[in-house]
Chains A and B, each alone.
Chain A
Amino acid sequence: MLSTTSSSESIREHILDLAWSLWAELGVSSWTRRHQKWAIDPEPLILFTALLGDTEHRLRDEALDWCIRYGAYVSTSRLRNLLKEAPTDQQAAFETFAATINAHSDHRWPSSAQAVKYKPTTRSSLASFTAPALIALRLRAVFGVAARADILRVIVAEPDWAFTASDLIADVNYTKRNIDNALDPLVMAGILEVRPVRNQFQYRLTDAGRLLAFVGDCPQRFPRWRPIFLCLASILELAGRASDLDHRAAMVEASRAYQQITPWIEESGLMKPAAAIVGPQAWSSFCAWADELSRRLAAGDDAAFQ
């Protein structure tokens, strides 16, 4: 058995701190707010919270409360699309979470599970979406809860970017068809310009300054939360098994986990480990990296990214 309980608990604490702080930006009742300068992406956060909520009931209860109250600004289509690539345990946790929201609201989130016994806390409170971190909700309030708003969220994050519809899929999390359908009106409105490049259409903002002035205060950073949460879910899963692993198994599982999450680290630009996750030091290197990463993410520290 491996003596890594303190390291695993520390990682879990940091990840919980991160979730609480992100929800606090959204208006959930909480003491800590450290992410005023980072854009919040509601659907990946909801899915991740459902997973955490299995053991963190207070966080789950406050997140449920927020979703019941502000769920009209959450995209059911995005939830469905994100669920498709979520790990099985996350899908199951979300279905119960969604069923509970459906039982207390008019929302129809994807679920075939039974709701848990729950009484809304009514503590969630949000005066407006003008805070920089709430850019995603603000754009939905203006452009509707549809692909168009999330396309603009991605464009606002990189105003000089020239992109195709396919380039947007990983961040917008709508189908390519939905994205194609949403790009046309943005071109017609003069927000985007389009030109053919080889066999594709390439889009870019017509006047970045004008759009940025219109949408209001933007956060300093737009983290790619989908791969970040997938990465953190894997870290948590391994940390949860740490006490059952002997030192050889821990070395292998750390190496395996890191290999699996490497694409998400690349995609999100998260900081990489100082030492390679191989050989006898694999477990300690993995734990040191995961602890530092989760601590920096929880603190809203830009050093969490490369």
Chain B
Amino acid sequence: MLGPTLLEEALLTLGTVLHQRGVSFEAVAIGGSSLMLLGLIDRPTRDLDLAALVSHGAYVKADPLPPQLVEAAADVGNALGLSADWLNPGPTSIVDTGFPEGFASRVEVRHYGGLTLHIASRYDQIFLKLYAAADQSPGSKHADDLRRLQPSRDELAAAARWTMSQDPSEGFRHLLRNALLEVGAHVVDNLL
């Protein structure tokens, strides 16, 4: 499992190896590990999700990841005793359905040698975590992470509107309502 120190070391090592091999990549990081990088959670995570690659300033799908990145990540994983897939393409469909508006302007950019990470901001992680919490069964780690982010009512309302835009079906609206209740948003109907 990846804790904050090991994750930082793995990224520094990966960036060094990529640089040494004469290649470089830019990617968008979301999910629990990226929250850890921002210092917003400290629970150990299994992997770092890359939702997109950045190519000439535009977001493109990260699935599959480029072979050189996969190979270097596997080598780093072996050297540090991590699982082979510690660096993963995340929910990359979001590139098609659309990131929250203004997402790119809010990312925190960090440079690790040959690897540049665009880390989703706390604000955008609220959107992504609410979507993930609705999409998965109650009691998921996503709902826990969302609670840790302590979203305001306005933030949850914006996140709920964006989440509905990702899947406007009535069934999903029901799941979203449950997810909001789970994270303690009591006056749910005003949010939807």
Contact = CB atoms under 8 A, between A and B. Distances in A.
Contact of B13 (A244, A251, A254, A278): A251
Contact of B79 (A244, A245, A278): A278
Nearest to A283: B79
B75 A256 contact: yes
Contact of B20 (A244, A259, A279): A244
B12 interface: yes
Contacts of B12: 248
- A246, A252, A279, A282 — which one has the most chain B CB atoms within 10 A of its CB? A252
Interface residues of B, number: 12
B81 A249 contact: no
Nearest to A254: B79
B16 A278 contact: no
Interface string A237-262: 00000001110110111111001000
A238 to B, nearest CB: 12
A204 B16 CA distance: 54
Interface in A267-296: 278-279, 282
B166 to A, nearest CB: 38
B80 interface: yes
A246 B20 CA distance: 9
Interface size class of A (residues with CB under 8 A): 10 to 19
Contacts of A246: 16, 20
A19 B160 CA distance: 71
B115 interface: no
A248 B81 contact: no
Given A248-B13, A251-B13, A256 B78 contact: yes
A249 B20 contact: yes
Contact of B78 (A244, A249, A278): A278
B17 interface: yes
Contacts of A256: 75, 78-79
A249 to B, nearest CB: 4
Nearest to A244: B20
B7 to A, nearest CB: 14
A289 to B, nearest CB: 15
Contacts of A279: 79-81
Nearest to A251: B79
A255 B76 CA distance: 9
Nearest to B16: A248
Contacts of B80: 278-279
Contacts of B76: 252
A252 B79 CA distance: 5
A255 B78 contact: yes
A244 B78 CA distance: 21
B81 A252 contact: no
Given A248-B13, A252-B13, A278 B20 contact: no
Nearest to B81: A278
Nearest to A245: B20
Contacts of B79: 251-252, 254-256, 278-279, 282
A303 B108 CA distance: 55
Interface string B152-191: 0000000000000000000000000000000000000000
B17 to A, nearest CB: 5
With most chain B CB atoms within 10 A of its CB, the pick from A249, A251, A255, A278 is A249
Contacts of A255: 75, 78-79
Nearest to B79: A255
A301 B75 CA distance: 33
Closest 6 CB pairs of A and B: A255-B79, A248-B16, A249-B20, A248-B13, A252-B79, A256-B75
Interface of B: 12-13, 16-17, 20, 72, 75-76, 78-81
29 contacts: A245-B20, A248-B12, A248-B13, A248-B16, A248-B17, A249-B16, A249-B17, A249-B20, A251-B79, A252-B13, A252-B16, A252-B17, A252-B72, A252-B75, A252-B79, A253-B20, A253-B75, A254-B79, A255-B75, A255-B78, A256-B78, A259-B78, A278-B78, A278-B79, A278-B80, A278-B81, A279-B79, A279-B81, A282-B79
